[in-house]
Structure 1
Amino acid sequence: MGSGSGHQPSATMIYLPGLVGLLLVFIADARVGNSTVEFCSETEQCLLFDLICETDKFEARHYDSVKWVSTDETSYIMEVAAMRAFRRLYEYITGTNENGQKMKMVAPVIVKISDKRFWERGTYTVSFLLPAEHQQNPPKPIDDKVYIHVMPKMEVYVLSYGGWMTSIADQNQAYRLSSDLDSVNAKYKKGFHYAVGYNSPMTLFNRHNEVWFVIEDEPECSSSRLVGLLLVLTVNARVGNSTIDFCWETEQCLLFDLICETDKFEARHYDSVKWVSSDETSCIMEVAAMRAFRRLQEYITGTNENGQEMKMVAPVIVKISDKRMWESGTYTVSFLLPAEHQQNPPKPIDDKVYIHVMPKMEVYVLSYGGWMISMVEHIQAYRLSCALDSVDAKYKKGFHYAVGYNGFTTFFNRHNEVWFVIEDEPECSSSSEEL
């Protein structure tokens, strides 16, 4: 909890959403950027991940889809194959590509290793991670043995170890990890694994290497400690503790990735999450929101099939369709479900209340203070639409979201937002800060 009241507010205290990014570069689902992980310290950018759980023997992590530059090499041992492949990839990032573009080295470097006997030849795929600024449109390789590879999002089991990543060391650590996973009946893809390195050959001490096995089905986290970003990764939901200064009145918040920020608006990415929602028709937002809010408050305070009480989570959002001021319109008010209820929320009893899965989306955001009343909200929505139109940004027309983070009893430092859903690629030109 941040500044302000030191207790959990009641449902009546929260009215309407926001969040700040995790210092990620988010381009075409890629998450490459600055990292606070101590073992990734030799490069300016690193591959970012969400830590799902950790046991005393292994971790489970989630990685988003990213692009790599890769090459294959056949040999009896990894060291020989990696040396040949490394040379080709290094030439690519130092300018041997169609644009003559030089790129920074990014950690980690990974080697995909298929299972084989020691005396057999095998194919090793070595990959360099492309920097954030080249994730969307990397220059084409000139060498026909070098190619761009899009690795889909995935969960992996991870075993970390020090020293040098030799064939013998990697095979021993891979055997250790597979044995530990088999002992808890964890499901993972067989037939290959990844050898992962974070250090330059010039680094003699405090080296960090990893073995990855790709997870199948749900991660096996029994006897684990939930750690990392304090997220609940359930049905892609990202709801958890936040360090954003404007989301301090609730224990949990809706988390997001900040794509870019200009002096007039932000662009953010939100993963798919579940909300409990209710529709109400009225001429003005305040009347509709008050009626819908009452029904949703009853749901989270126990009026559901399980009699389950839930904490309030920020933000609360109102979907507003375009209309003239004097016309009646339908307002959809939604409470964010807490992390522990994202997977299996209790069913509502009131037939005007329903569970809504909002798909992952990118939104343009304008933040403002004060009270979120109809007149102010419409002015702020108009301001944002004008700012977007001025840079030819593509966004969905016909509706927007009014988003609130504060309770009724909060009089100062209130935080509200307007959201427009992005169409096509986010428009980040003339941005004052791109992460």
Structure 2
Amino acid sequence: MLKTMGQALFSTGLQYPPFTAAEKQGQDYEVRSYHPTKWVSTTVSGMEMDAATSSGFSKLFSYIQGKNQNKAKVEMTAPVTCLVEPGAGPACESQFTVSFFVPQEHQENPPEPSDPDVFVEHRKEFTAYVRTFGGFAKENLKREELLKLVESLKRDGVEHVGEPFYTAGYDSPMKLINRRNEVWILQKVPEK
């Protein structure tokens, strides 16, 4: 418990999902191909990304603390991702799927969640355009960084998916400096 709390608070010694960086990168973004992996996730509907992320994080933190079928403790990992599927209009709820990467030792057989709102997600391989930024990533800052990434992709003539998109946070709220946040836009898959 203390190790997990320490990892969550200070963001040290955490496992990250495996990816391969493309040889050609943008001047202000990375291109990463994430390998197929399992994540533990929960989906929250709402109007505010920050509130949904906080609510989702709490459910997932309970899962790694032993609220699962095996009552197994699971190591904290990074980043905490949030898949944002915007609602149809300005006053419509969006869907936010908050996820923790399942550590390597549990990838083959993750403990089954006991909370009906929590599920194991099997992410297929995907390629993302990634913009990294610092500071405390509140909703407005995430949107600003997302718009900067969209502009960079347009500038470079890069085909990409408009929605959904991901936000990714690597640090606990207790970490005050050298914070790492990201926004991910998915690469458009050519139609067959």
1:321-360 matches, cutoff 5 A: none
The answer for the alignment partner of 2:113 in structure 1 is 141
Higher-Rg structure is 1
Classify the secondary structure of the residue corresponding to 1:54: coil
1:28-177 matches, cutoff 5 A: 42-52=12-22, 53-116=24-87, 119-177=91-149
Classify the secondary structure of the residue corresponding to 2:66: coil
Q: What is the alpha-carbon distance in structure 1 between the residues aligned to residue 68 and residue 156 of structure 2?
A: 46
Q: What is the alpha-carbon distance in structure 2 between the residues aligned to residue 182 and residue 157 of structure 1?
A: 12
C-alpha distance after superposition, 1:336-377 (max 9, x if no partner):
xxxxxxxxxxxxxxxxxxxxxxxxxxxxxxxxxxxxxxxxxx
1:191-210 matches, cutoff 5 A: 191-210=163-182
Contact 1:158 1:213 in 2 (8 A): yes
More helix by share: 2
Classify the secondary structure of the residue corresponding to 2:161: coil
C-alpha distance after superposition, 1:216-249 (max 9, x if no partner):
248xxxxxxxxxxxxxxxxxxxxxxxxxxxxxxx
Q: What is the alpha-carbon distance in structure 1 between the residues aligned to residue 66 and residue 185 of structure 2?
A: 33
Contact 2:67 2:113 in 1 (8 A): yes
The answer for the alignment partner of 1:329 in structure 2 is none
Classify the secondary structure of the residue corresponding to 1:141: coil
TM-score by length of 2: 0.88
Q: What is the alpha-carbon distance in structure 2 between the residues aligned to residue 213 and residue 152 of structure 1?
A: 15
Q: CA deviation at 1:118?
A: 5.5
Q: Which amino acid aligns with 1:123?
A: Q
Q: Which amino acid aligns with 1:63?
A: Y
Q: What is the alpha-carbon distance in structure 2 between the residues aligned to residue 178 and residue 66 of structure 1?
A: 26
Classify the secondary structure of the residue corresponding to 1:133: helix
Contact 2:40 2:101 in 1 (8 A): yes
**Aligned pairs, number:** 179
Q: What is the alpha-carbon distance in structure 1 between the residues aligned to residue 106 and residue 138 of structure 2?
A: 30
Q: What is the alpha-carbon distance in structure 2 between the residues aligned to residue 151 and residue 202 of structure 1?
A: 29
1:212 and 2:184 aligned? yes
Q: Which amino acid aligns with 1:113?
A: V
Contact 2:86 2:93 in 1 (8 A): no
Classify the secondary structure of the residue corresponding to 1:189: strand
CA RMSD of superposed structures (Å) = 1.7
TM-score by length of 1: 0.40
Equivalent of residue 190 in structure 1, options 158, 162, 167 = 162
The answer for the alignment partner of 1:179 in structure 2 is 151
Q: What is the alpha-carbon distance in structure 1 between the residues aligned to residue 102 and residue 90 of structure 2?
A: 31
Q: What is the alpha-carbon distance in structure 1 between the residues aligned to residue 91 and residue 57 of structure 2?
A: 23
Contact 1:76 1:118 in 2 (8 A): no
Q: What is the alpha-carbon distance in structure 1 between the residues aligned to residue 68 and residue 165 of structure 2?
A: 29
Q: CA deviation at 1:184?
A: 2.0
> Gaps (5+ residues) in structure 2?
1-10
The answer for the alignment partner of 1:412 in structure 2 is none
Q: What is the alpha-carbon distance in structure 2 between the residues aligned to residue 104 and residue 91 of structure 1?
A: 12
1:217-236 matches, cutoff 5 A: 217=189
C-alpha distance after superposition, 1:15-43 (max 9, x if no partner):
xxxxxxxxxxxxxxxxxxxxxxxxxx623
Q: CA separation of 1:164/1:78 partners in 2, compared to 1, >3 Å: closer, same or farther?
A: same
Q: What is the alpha-carbon distance in structure 2 between the residues aligned to residue 91 and residue 68 of structure 1?
A: 15
Classify the secondary structure of the residue corresponding to 1:47: coil
Classify the secondary structure of the residue corresponding to 2:162: coil
Contact 1:156 1:212 in 2 (8 A): yes
Contact 2:86 2:95 in 1 (8 A): no
